[in-house]
Amino acid sequence: MYESLVEKLNPKGVDVNEVIQKLKDFSIETPSWGYSDAGTRFKVFHKPGSARNVFERIDDAAVVNKLTGAAPFIAIHIPWDKTKDYKELKEYAESKGITIGTVNPNLFQEDEYKYGSLTNTDDKIRQKAISHILECIEIMRETGAHRLSLWFGDGTNYPGQGDFVKRLHRMLEGLRSTYVSLRENDIMLIEYKFFEPAFYHTDIPDWGTAMLLAQKLGRNAKVLVDLGHHPLGTNIEQIVAILLSENRLGGFHFNDKKYADDDLTTGSINPYQLFLIFVELVKGGVGPSPHSKVSYTIDQSHCVKPNIEAMIQTINSIEIAYAKSLLVDFKALQEAQEENNVVKAEEILLDAYYEDVRLLISEARRQKGAEVDPLRALKASGYEERIVKERG
């Protein structure tokens, strides 16, 4: 049937071999915290077999990478992944085929951060936050990671609680104190979020604020787009395109949402939107493994799905969106746009979207020696049963 698909795509001008090559090259980063227990404010359900420390998380990430052939990076989160010897951690990861790509400081789970970390009115607490970020930059050096990914829970819950401008100025000042410690090819990713855990205002609510901070910091500061961090109805693909054109797109946190920041598995609510985002990335020249330029990081909360299965499903979903975007006839699209042929332009996108690309992905996996059906292979491997026994 793969041949039948090739026969169908070739006349459309699709270079199937090139598509397969890009799918083989495609790589993504999974988050260490995606292998742990997760939940909501109402309840964290324990999942038997959840990874209990960074080494077990790397083990799980390595399984996901082995099965899919597409997840060679891991993002770590300090202090959740704290360990004594980060060089050892790096070596452990590498022995499993995993590279530590991104380091995430935690600036929201200390009692001191109740009223903000870098934006706090208390200089001691700001210094604590700065020190923690500097510690993470040090961990980047030791682990070979080049991306520092900053998300802040900072904000206020009530009118009057804080001064928007002073808080933002403190944020900038704090970022500057740490930005200067980055090396030439390090990237500082600034993540924005519309709401939560602060409910009245967040200090970096939107890409405009994140961009403003990045502009003031320098060219190594970039904006991170988490798909769940926008108000409903936002055209995220437009934000992606504009950030890319301004050379400020730093990376993604992939997930999906129905109403708020639900952190559901990517593409589970609106897979077409995911495709449209990849259309912008492909059009904007972002390659299949942009790692050092635009990080592709999964960030989900697997409340009811088994972690490893959820991660594999997510990679499937993202690869499907990516593969479809590779089928778009961009030349014809541009022509249709120029003549304002709305129906034709949309049909060009839909022609790619309606295609069943799963055989292309299977073929790419086959060629690179990964599993054609990773979910099934996971079941067959007995890995899940094993970790349940070992980890409880």
Which residues between 258 and 317 bind its own copies (CB under 8 A)? Answer: 258-260, 262, 264-265, 268-273, 276, 280, 283-284, 303-306, 309-310, 313
In the set 10, 13, 40, 91, which binds its own copies (CB under 8 A)?
40
Closest CA to 250 of 286, 282, 217, 224: 224
Shortest CB 181 distance to its own copies, Å: 26
- Cis, peptide link before residue 271, omega less than 30° from 0: no
Shortest CB 47 distance to its own copies, Å: 9
Shortest CB 198 distance to its own copies, Å: 9
Taking the least distance from each CB to its own copies, the nearer of 18 and 158 is 158
Shortest CB 144 distance to its own copies, Å: 29
Contact 36, 57 (CB under 8 A): yes
Taking the least distance from each CB to its own copies, the nearer of 217 and 345 is 345
In the set 114, 183, 386, 389, which binds its own copies (CB under 8 A)?
114
Q: Which residues contact 58 (CB under 8 A, 6 or more apart)?
A: 32, 74, 89, 92, 93, 96, 98
Contact 113, 156 (CB under 8 A): no
Total of chain residues touching its own copies, rule CB under 8 A = 103
Shortest CB 87 distance to its own copies, Å: 31
Please give the Cα distance from 265 to 253 (Å, whole number): 11
Please give the Cα distance from 174 to 290 (Å, whole number): 28
Extract the tokens encoding 149. Answer: 């990914």
Q: Does 245 bind its own copies (CB under 8 A)?
A: yes
**Which residues, numbered 343-382, are part of the site for its own copies (CB under 8 A)?**
343, 345-349, 353-358, 375
Q: Does 387 bind its own copies (CB under 8 A)?
A: no
Shortest CB 142 distance to its own copies, Å: 27
Extract the tokens encoding 40. Answer: 């909501």
Taking the least distance from each CB to its own copies, the nearer of 144 and 284 is 284
Shortest CB 375 distance to its own copies, Å: 7
Taking the least distance from each CB to its own copies, the nearer of 85 and 354 is 354
Closest CA to 108 of 177, 191, 50: 191
**Which residues, numbered 1-20, are part of the site for its own copies (CB under 8 A)?**
1, 4, 7-8
Q: Which residues contact 391 (CB under 8 A, 6 or more apart)?
A: 48, 49, 50, 51, 52, 56
Q: What type of residue is 286?
A: V
SS3 call for 200: coil
Burial classification of residue 247, based on how many CB atoms lie within 10 Å of its CB (0-12 exposed, 13-18 middle, 19 or more buried):
exposed
Q: Does 173 bind its own copies (CB under 8 A)?
A: no
Contact 222, 191 (CB under 8 A): no
Please give the Cα distance from 315 to 13 (Å, whole number): 27
In the set 10, 95, 131, 238, which binds its own copies (CB under 8 A)?
238
Shortest CB 140 distance to its own copies, Å: 23
According to DSSP, the residues that pair with 187 across neighbouring strands are 147
Taking the least distance from each CB to its own copies, the nearer of 45 and 85 is 45
**Which residues, numbered 61-90, are part of the site for its own copies (CB under 8 A)?**
none
Shortest CB 139 distance to its own copies, Å: 21
**Which residues, numbered 193-232, are part of the site for its own copies (CB under 8 A)?**
194-197, 199-201, 205-209, 211-212, 231-232
Q: Does 32 bind its own copies (CB under 8 A)?
A: no
**Which residues, numbered 43-62, are part of the site for its own copies (CB under 8 A)?**
43, 45-46
- Count the alpha carbons within 13 Å of 79 in the hemisphere toward its beta carbon: 8
**Which residues, numbered 137-166, are part of the site for its own copies (CB under 8 A)?**
153, 156-165
User: Which of these segments, 19-27, 74-82, 130-138, 330-338, binds its own copies (CB under 8 A)?
Assistant: 330-338
Please give the Cα distance from 172 to 257 (Å, whole number): 30
In the set 127, 134, 242, 368, which binds its own copies (CB under 8 A)?
242
SS3 call for 92: helix
Please give the Cα distance from 229 to 158 (Å, whole number): 20
Please give the Cα distance from 202 to 192 (Å, whole number): 9
